[in-house]
Amino acid sequence: MNEERKTLEQRATMTDIERLRHSASHVLATAILKIWPEAQFAAGPPVENGFYYDVDLPHRISPDDFEKIEAEMKKEIKANRPFERVEVSRDEALELGKKGRLAALSERSEPSKYKLDIIENIPPDETISLYRNGDFIDLCAGPHVMRTGNIGAFKLTNVASAYYKGDEKNPQLQRVYGTAFKTKKELDDYFAMIEEAKKRDHRKLGRELELFVFDDDVGPGLPMFLPRGAVIAEELEKLAKETEFGAGYQRVRTPHIARESMYKKSGHLPYYEDSMFPPMILIEGADEQRHRELYRDLLVRRGSSAFLNSEDPLHELEMSNIAELESEMRALGTKYYLKAMNCPHHHKLFAAVPRSYRDLPLRLAEYGTCYRYEQSGELFGLMRVRSLQMNDAHLYMTPEQFEAEFNAVNEMYLNYFKLFGIDKYLMRFSTHDPAKLGQKFVDEPELWKKTEEMTRNVLKNSGINYVEVPNEAAFYGPKIDVQAWSVIGREFSIATNQVDFSQPRNFDLRYKDRDNIDKIPICIHRAPLGTHERFIGFLIEHYAGNFPLWLSPEQVRILTIGDDPKLIDYARSILKELRAHQVRAEIDESSDKINGKVQRAEQMKVHTMFVIGKRDMEADAVSVRVHGKGNLGAKPRGEVVADILAAIRKRRA
């Protein structure tokens, strides 16, 4: 994986906290050099939640070293040195690098080899600049805070190995991570959030609550949902289907594989090939007979070659014939790919029926299963997987309908956020890089300009909170990634919207306008609930496993005090009533003490417990206990059941 250098445009949009953390990385390098003057440095950028600097050093840095490194950093911050920017020519920068003066406190006998390599890769027309704080000079385009004293509170967090530029062919460096904030309170709050996040880790809770598993025989990145986890997926799917039905969507179903030709037409091949599983080659149709003929001929020739001496001229000829047969056999057949996305199949469904402007907008929805070949090092619980079920839909429309449709999709997002108690969110509007047309992005400059402007205008007019991010669009059009924050302030990327002007052209999608002229529709790809896997992972951490009643894997557990037959019969009658209304209810008929039954239910985060004793039975009542709230007292049975059903039906929090 190549770690791309930030562009000047990206640097210009750095936030205040990113500038502070970028400056902290320079102070980190300064401190390391004061302890180990021979250290060589590569890159030291701000990253999500902190910063790092890659260092080449014989000494293996460990957390045991952090205290003395931090002590040197504090001295540099207390000195309150200015960050001074100096522009230099390429030759001056190279000369400093050869003298070992870049990312150093003074000239050294060893050149600054990583900085020299970075200089060689700076575009010819880009200004080269250095930043100085005290004796430390670094090759850097900035930006930074004014002085080291502006850095505030910081802490080193961990150290890991990282290949230079992310390429395993390059030297392995030590990546020292840290984080920094303006105030100590913000720093303390951050680490409190980290500790709480550990308790809420969806991988930990997934095991404890029996929601999902991974298995070596099934394969990495291929989650399997246990019954309790499958409940959550089914409830989310039910929610999506109800919402989409109300918004005029139509449901479709498509297969899990498709021929190579379709993905070439869509443009996913070659642009997306690295993220797709390797193809399957199937011999079909007319190729089957030819394959059988070649195979028989191959067996005959292999048999005859076994009796020839390797030095016999006929042996060489026979081996050449065998190679030709094998080559022809490999050329036969059709490549099939596991479906990595649903859109090409949906485009085929649009094209399957003649369309008129009266049919538009057409909204095709599917909870489609897709397969993506994520690198093994990038797999992470449910957040990065290779098998995913996506809340997908493709909306086909005229240009005049675009604003209304795009706004309706955004409103759907906002309604979901309200339902799940997501108060903080951000839309990341990703645009293309004109320099990468034909490489990373479809080579249609005018269409890029038009669709990006349309999307930008809708976002501005709707008043939705968004930021614009260059060079991160989908290959076929601008996209919006939805970032959401859980209740403890942890950020997640949970969903996406994409505007597509390319694929409808590639598939020759047409509709007749009012004048009976063929027109190409605009397409919006949208997935407000993302994938089951990622969204469930988010919800586990968001709710800490304490799901609202409608989403809870086990909504009600009935706990009897004692094992009197009449009491058991009463409890079973309540169970039967609840299950008749599709309530996920269970009963604990064990002979254990009531405290043990309650403890087990609490450990599994059962939403509501009905504790039933003799007095409850005689009064046709139940004693209600809610997880996280404790005992709510005895209430009439009919009232409690009615309230449970209403809360589930209305999806109350």
> What is the residue-averaged pLDDT of the chain?
93
* Same domain for 264 and 289: no
- Kindly state whether residue 216 falls inside one of the protein's structural domains: no
The pLDDT-based confidence of 2 (bands split at 50, 70, 90) is: very low
Length of the chain: 653
Write down the pTM of the prediction. Answer: 0.82
The yes-or-no verdict on residue 309 having pLDDT over 80 is no
Neighbours of 76 (CB within 10 A): 21
The pLDDT-based confidence of 471 (bands split at 50, 70, 90) is: confident
* Same domain for 346 and 262: yes
Tell me the HSE value of 228 on the side-chain side, using a 13 A CA sphere.
Answer: 22
* Same domain for 105 and 149: yes
Burial of 593 (0-12, 13-18, 19+ CB in 10 A): exposed
Separation of alpha carbons 60 and 93, rounded Å:
29
- Looking at 150, 165, 182, which one is the last position of a domain? 182
* Same domain for 125 and 94: yes
> Residue 630 maps to which CATH number?
3.40.50.800
Phi-psi region of 187 (alpha: psi -120 to 50; beta: other; left: phi over 0): alpha
How far CA 392 is from CA of 520, 529, 530, in Å, comes to 21, 9, 8
User: Average pLDDT in the 309-337 region?
Assistant: 82
> Residue 41 maps to which CATH number?
3.30.980.10
* Same domain for 178 and 81: yes
Answer whether 627's CB lies under 8 Å from 546's CB. Answer: yes
Secondary structure element (H or E) that encloses residue 315, with its range: helix 313-331
* Same domain for 62 and 93: yes
Question: How many domains is the chain partitioned into structurally?
Answer: 4
From the list 241, 245, 225, the residue with the least C-alpha distance to 233 is 225
- Looking at 128, 149, 182, which one is the last position of a domain? 182
Answer whether 513's CB lies under 8 Å from 401's CB. Answer: no
Tell me the HSE value of 304 on the side-chain side, using a 13 A CA sphere.
Answer: 14
- Kindly state whether residue 73 falls inside one of the protein's structural domains: yes
The pLDDT-based confidence of 19 (bands split at 50, 70, 90) is: very high
Secondary structure element (H or E) that encloses residue 469, with its range: strand 466-469
Q: Rounded to the nearest 5°, which phi and psi values hold at 107? A: -65, 145
* Same domain for 457 and 391: yes
- Kindly state whether residue 27 falls inside one of the protein's structural domains: yes
- Looking at 493, 510, 543, which one is the last position of a domain? 543
The pLDDT-based confidence of 270 (bands split at 50, 70, 90) is: confident
The pLDDT-based confidence of 438 (bands split at 50, 70, 90) is: confident
Secondary structure element (H or E) that encloses residue 387, with its range: strand 387-397
* Same domain for 176 and 81: yes
- Kindly state whether residue 206 falls inside one of the protein's structural domains: no
Structure confidence at residue 319 (pLDDT): 84
* Same domain for 358 and 299: no
Q: Are strands 556-560 and 585-588 parallel, antiparallel or unpaired?
A: parallel
Query: Per-residue pLDDT tens for 44-55?
Result: 999 988 999 999
* Same domain for 566 and 493: no
* Same domain for 345 and 230: yes
Separation of alpha carbons 131 and 144, rounded Å:
9
Task: Spell out the residues 6+ positions from residue 415 whose beta carbon is closer than 8 angstroms to its own.
Answer: 243
- Kindly state whether residue 413 falls inside one of the protein's structural domains: yes
- Kindly state whether residue 354 falls inside one of the protein's structural domains: yes
Burial of 534 (0-12, 13-18, 19+ CB in 10 A): buried
- Kindly state whether residue 189 falls inside one of the protein's structural domains: no
Domain range for 26 is: 8-182
> Residue 389 maps to which CATH number?
3.30.930.10
- The residue type at 257: I
* Same domain for 405 and 305: no
- Kindly state whether residue 187 falls inside one of the protein's structural domains: no
Separation of alpha carbons 536 and 547, rounded Å:
11
Q: Are strands 362-371 and 250-251 parallel, antiparallel or unpaired?
A: parallel
